Amino acid sequence: MKEQAPTKGKNKRHNQVTFKPYVQNQGWLLPPSLSELIPEHHMVRLVNDVIDGMDLEPILNTYEGGGSSTYHPRMMLKALVYGYVDKRYSSRDIEQALQENVCYMWLCGMQKPDHNTLNRFRSSRLKQTVKTVFAHVLALLVEQGYVRLEEYYVDGSKLESVAGRYTYVWAKNVSRHKAALLEKIARIIEHIEAVNEQAEAEATKKKAEAEPLAVGDSEALQETIERLNEKVADQVAQNKKLKKQLEKLQTEHLPKLQAYEEQEALLAGRNSYSKTDPDATFMRTKDDHLGDGQLKPCYNLQLGTEDQFIINYTVHQTPSDMAAFTDHMDDTLQVLASIDAPRPKRAGGDAGYGSEENYEYLEQNQIEAYLKYPGFHQEQKGKGHKNPFHYTHLYYNAEHDYYVCPMGQHMELQQVKEEKTKTGYPTKVHLYRAQRCEGCPLRGICHRGKTDRIIKVNQRNVQYRRQAYQRLNSLRGIRMRQKRGIDTEPVFGHIKQDRHFRRFLLTTLAGVSTETGLLAIAHNLKKWWVKLNKPVGKVPPPATRSAQMAPKGPKTGSWQLFFEKMGLEKLFLTFDQFSMNLLSPRFKVALARTTSMNGDF
């Protein structure tokens, strides 16, 4: 069909406009299939192929059988996984896409489960099996060679819960209110006992003041109320005040005490929880909406990556990355064992992971630890601890196990004390004591106590830190420190910024773990698809030896001359790939001394 636009002047051929045929409601004699409408290398085809080759036996075991027919779990899993790949996290958004998007229609075979069905499958069927689905995708990545499991970079980030921001319950408040309630209960019980035995009222009062509270929990209070009802049954009929106090214990104080005990059970050692999501803990985040450091209900998401592929994920209720590391690694080794994959050879992390417990865990599992520890960057800058009299600045004689104080006194070992960390890890602390601090001219600066100075040192932790410092400043450690920032942290940036996922949609720890699993699967599939469709350019020819050895600048030229003088020209080619600003300060000082000693260097 041709339509001609109105033209002015003469009707010339080059002035005529020809439109393509447009018939909206014309029927097709041979309509195309949905597959023909999707490009050959579309992302949805990779999702379809991966899930088609997956063993769904763990998911099928969650069905009891009987009743009416239900949607196939393979189709439901495809819809949810591709929904997370397509940045559709709400079940209502996925339901809408199943009715409008041709990719969803082809993937699900024109089946259209509603949002309730999708959400019920996600929160119930995938709750215990999403880790198995993630492990299957990881096994394919290992098989294809995208994941080598040579290095394992771990990092954590806080993601906000769907719970209300002002539904907090603080552990300190629960403890304080419970203690006040127990004191009130003790006074009432004491008064009832005094009324029942007026002859021994004074003795009973002294005994109650001398001994701790007899009632410590709701069960003990219930037994006490039953005992008092039997004991003062005659007085209750005559004394209305006594009867009212017994009723108050039963109807008011007992339920309150039970409520406090339930809150303590929900806290389980945490500092807080949310009323609308009891598994969420209030944590401090970088995204502060009020700008006053207000805490939000969050979960601590731990990710382990290699080449920006997610190797494993775990969700924790503690805000400390250091406390969550061993649990995360236990789960990681279990996932790798389930797919018969080897353990990673090296593990890297920032200064939030370096602790005695974590170093010992990696040592026992034969994994080289490249974890930074608190204060590592200060040591790199040569600053160390701010206090010049800290034990790290004191001389230590390892042979005879003593420290030397600033005035030259030997601080001998007095005691080895066993302590436990917040995670329950047993550790040994060595106590060293000065011989005589009285009359010391540095007494007010070095030590302000009335007795001789005592320092506490965890020698095992000191050894681990010394070993970590040497590893982190080796050539491999420098490379891993550089790579960690571009390996695991961009994954969080991709999830939060690019995929716009900053807040969970499901409640409870199990629901949040399910969402995290779907996110991790979607991230790995998306990165896999990008690598499959990455255009391969022409490989540049290798540089000649003269071009490789040519000086590239004042620093590179100096290093080249240094290696030539040492007779290590071949080693320079390997060494040249590292940036000069990544070298350790000691090595730079050594170079400066060598330069000053050789005037022509």
Contacts of 488 (CB under 8 A, 6+ apart): 153, 154, 155, 303, 304, 305, 308
152 and 347 in contact (C-beta within 8 Å)?
yes
Compute, in degrees rounded to 10, the torsion defined by CA atoms 371, 375, 378, 379. Answer: -70
Q: Report the distance separating Cα 3 and Cα 252, nearest Å.
A: 86
Question: Two tokens at 77?
Answer: 């899993």
Torsions phi, psi for 151 (to 5 deg):
-130, 145
Q: Report the distance separating Cα 207 and Cα 190, nearest Å.
A: 10
Q: Are strands 368-371 and 402-404 parallel, antiparallel or unpaired?
A: unpaired
Question: Two tokens at 114?
Answer: 């509603």
At 65, which amino acid appears? G
Radius of gyration of the chain (CA): 35
Q: Report the distance separating Cα 444 and Cα 406, nearest Å.
A: 13
DSSP 295-312: -EEEEEEEEEEETTEEEE
Compute, in degrees rounded to 10, the torsion defined by CA atoms 489, 491, 495, 496. Answer: 10
Sheet of 426-433, strand order: 395-397, 402-404, 410-420, 426-433, 454-457
The CA angle 466-467-468, to the nearest 5 degrees, is 90
Q: Report the distance separating Cα 566 and Cα 569, nearest Å.
A: 8
Q: Report the distance separating Cα 558 and Cα 541, nearest Å.
A: 27
Helix (H) / strand (E) containing 595 = helix 585-597
**SS3 per-residue string spanning 276-292:** CCCCCEEECCCCCCCCC
- Confidence at residue 94, expressed as pLDDT on a 0 to 100 scale: 96
Q: What are the strands, taking DSSP E only, across 63-173?
A: 151-160, 168-170
- Confidence at residue 135, expressed as pLDDT on a 0 to 100 scale: 95
Helix (H, G, I), strand (E, B) or coil at 438: coil
Helix (H) / strand (E) containing 412 = strand 410-420
Task: Kindly tell me the burial class for residue 431, based on how many C-beta atoms sit within 10 Å of its own C-beta (0-12, 13-18, 19 or more).
Answer: middle
At 337, which amino acid appears? A
488 and 312 in contact (C-beta within 8 Å)?
no
Q: Report the distance separating Cα 544 and Cα 547, nearest Å.
A: 5
Helix (H, G, I), strand (E, B) or coil at 199: helix
Helix (H, G, I), strand (E, B) or coil at 219: helix
Q: What are the strands, taking DSSP E only, across 145-245?
A: 151-160, 168-170
At 119, which amino acid appears? N
- Answer positive or negative: Cα dihedral of 342, 347, 353, 359: positive
- Confidence at residue 518, expressed as pLDDT on a 0 to 100 scale: 96
**pLDDT < 70: residue spans in the chain:** 1-14, 196-214, 234-238, 289-292, 536-601
Cα–Cα distances in Å, from 425 out to 28, 326, 355, 420, 492?
A: 72, 11, 11, 5, 30
The CA angle 369-374-380, to the nearest 5 degrees, is 85
Helix (H, G, I), strand (E, B) or coil at 503: strand
Which ranges of 4-72 does DSSP label H, i.e. alpha helix? 43-52, 57-60
Residues pairing with 40 in the sheet: none
410 and 435 in contact (C-beta within 8 Å)?
yes
Q: Report the distance separating Cα 491 and Cα 332, nearest Å.
A: 17
Residue 344 DSSP label: P
Contacts of 463 (CB under 8 A, 6+ apart): none
Cα–Cα distances in Å, from 81 out to 43, 515, 545, 597?
A: 11, 10, 50, 65
Q: Report the distance separating Cα 78 and Cα 499, nearest Å.
A: 19
Task: Kindly tell me the burial class for residue 264, based on how many C-beta atoms sit within 10 Å of its own C-beta (0-12, 13-18, 19 or more).
Answer: middle
- Confidence at residue 230, expressed as pLDDT on a 0 to 100 scale: 76
